[in-house]
Structure 1
Amino acid sequence: MERKKFKIDDYNKREPFRDATKFFIVYEGEKELNYFQLFNYLFLPPENASIIHVLEKDTIVGSQPKKLIERADFFIKNPPKDISVTPSEDDKFRFVLDVDQHPADQFNELFEYCNKLNDANLYISNICFEVWLYFHLDKREKIESNTSSDMKTELGVKHTELKIKNYPKGYLTAERIKKAIEEAENADNDKTNFFPSKNSSKVYLLMKELLIHSILNEDVNNPETL
């Protein structure tokens, strides 16, 4: 049976249990939001964990790292009235963003901001989130793009070649998630640095964390059993 389409406006309708692990994710763009929104809907039992999305429409508009800091601060001090949990500086805050053309000092500022919070981290994709998505489909060595726009086109071509029906549902299978994590981890040449090397993504670290709480925990480790 086909699942209903999950809209952005539905993001807070699956209320987490009181004792569930809560991840407040601050996104740069909508493509990232759609990916994690569907992962939350399909694979995170609300009694285990839940993703609460920190959105532009509820907070501060802007995709620069410094704007994400402002967005998180605003969200903590002025949480949307329609969410059932009250965020605080002690919660798990996760920032997902691209390199794009943002000044390097802003990434350092965001990293320092994460260190000031009780439990926060940032996960950057270089050159863009599409690199992380590409890892679901093929190896890093196959990437030819040098710009964000070219990378998006290249992902689209690969998506069409493999006849994937839609995004993000076509990417969110146990086998593809496992593949993406392995590719990204192999591409991570400096695991001590928060900033990723070219054509790599630190998003795999967040996915490994989320998978611990998901119904895919066993399946991702043993995809042949699906």
Structure 2
Amino acid sequence: MSHRRPLARRKGLRRYRKLFVVSTEGSKTEPQYFDLLNSKSAAVHIHCLGRRRGQSPERVLAAMDKYMKEVRPKRKKRRDDRDDFEAWLVIDRDQWEMDEIDQLHSWARSHPNTHLAVSYPCFEYWLLLHFEDGDRVTGPQECIDRLKKHLPGYDKGVNSSDTSTDMIRAAVERAKRRHQSQGYPAIPNAFGSTVYKLVENILNSANEKD
């Protein structure tokens, strides 16, 4: 999937109403997914940071911290960034210690307009929710295997033909119900994903009337 389409709108940055800055653990699937959302609406702009391979939670946070301290002030001075923005850290739960994730949670709580989205066990679970309820998944590999039943060509990547807006909204509702059933933990401790919060904000911002 090409990353050029959403970037092509950079000359018209003032056209969008809200900016979402996203720092992701994955270097391929997550940026592709958010590029897909970029392509669905010109009313919002989603900027993914540091598309490096194998990001740890520490590096995910470092990329966002650098943007907030160094890049955003310069862009605001040039009026390239909107005041209306959200910053999101997006990570998986499966292979990291809670201490590492808690560090990101604490950072997000201590800064305005910053948030943490966690998928348990992995981002592919969030993708799976676009197609089904995600019941009885036992681990990351089964999650990927089940996703491939819906997307036979999936190889840790997505493209614009894989999902529709209705499917994205269905994923939000499925994830929300699952999160509610778990008691709304800040960090999922069972199969689920709080990426729905980020995506719901993107969809709502895209549909806001001027």
1:6 corresponds to which residue?
2
2:115 corresponds to which residue?
121
Equivalent position to 1:152, from 139, 144, 147: 144
For the residues of structure 1 that align with 2:54 and 2:64, how far apart are their CA atoms?
Answer: 12
For the residues of structure 2 that align with 1:139 and 1:76, how far apart are their CA atoms?
Answer: 36
**What code does the residue aligned with 1:54 have?**
L
> Could you tell me how far 1:159 is from its partner in structure 2?
2.3
2:25 corresponds to which residue?
28
> Could you tell me how far 1:56 is from its partner in structure 2?
3.6
Q: Does 1:138 pair with 2:132?
A: yes
> Could you tell me how far 1:182 is from its partner in structure 2?
1.5
Equivalent position to 2:188, from 188, 196, 214: 196
Q: Sequence identity of aligned pairs in percent?
A: 21
Equivalent position to 2:177, from 183, 186, 191: 186
2:35 corresponds to which residue?
37
For the residues of structure 2 that align with 1:77 and 1:115, how far apart are their CA atoms?
Answer: 17
What SS is found at the alignment partner of 1:137?
coil
1:206 corresponds to which residue?
198
1:223 corresponds to which residue?
none
Distance 1:18 1:113, change over 3 A: farther
Distance 1:103 1:176, change over 3 A: same
Residue 17 of structure 2 contacts residue 82 of structure 2 at CA under 8 Å; is this kept in 1?
no
Distance 1:192 1:137, change over 3 A: closer
For the residues of structure 2 that align with 1:135 and 1:159, how far apart are their CA atoms?
Answer: 13
What SS is found at the alignment partner of 2:206?
coil
2:95 corresponds to which residue?
101
For the residues of structure 2 that align with 1:76 and 1:88, how far apart are their CA atoms?
Answer: 13
Q: Over aligned residue pairs, what C-alpha RMSD do you find?
A: 3.1
* TM-score under structure 2 length normalisation: 0.80
Distance 1:148 1:89, change over 3 A: farther
What SS is found at the alignment partner of 1:14?
helix
> Could you tell me how far 1:193 is from its partner in structure 2?
1.9
Q: Which has the higher helix share?
A: 2
Q: Does 1:69 pair with 2:65?
A: no
Distance 1:85 1:150, change over 3 A: farther
**Unaligned 5+ residue runs, structure 1?**
219-226
Q: Does 1:167 pair with 2:158?
A: yes
Distance 1:19 1:176, change over 3 A: closer
* TM-score under structure 1 length normalisation: 0.75
CA shift digits 1:73-120 (9 cap, x unpaired): 22234439xx88667999521111111211101111101111122111
Residue 56 of structure 1 contacts residue 71 of structure 1 at CA under 8 Å; is this kept in 2?
no
Distance 1:56 1:140, change over 3 A: closer
> Could you tell me how far 1:155 is from its partner in structure 2?
1.1
> Could you tell me how far 1:157 is from its partner in structure 2?
2.2
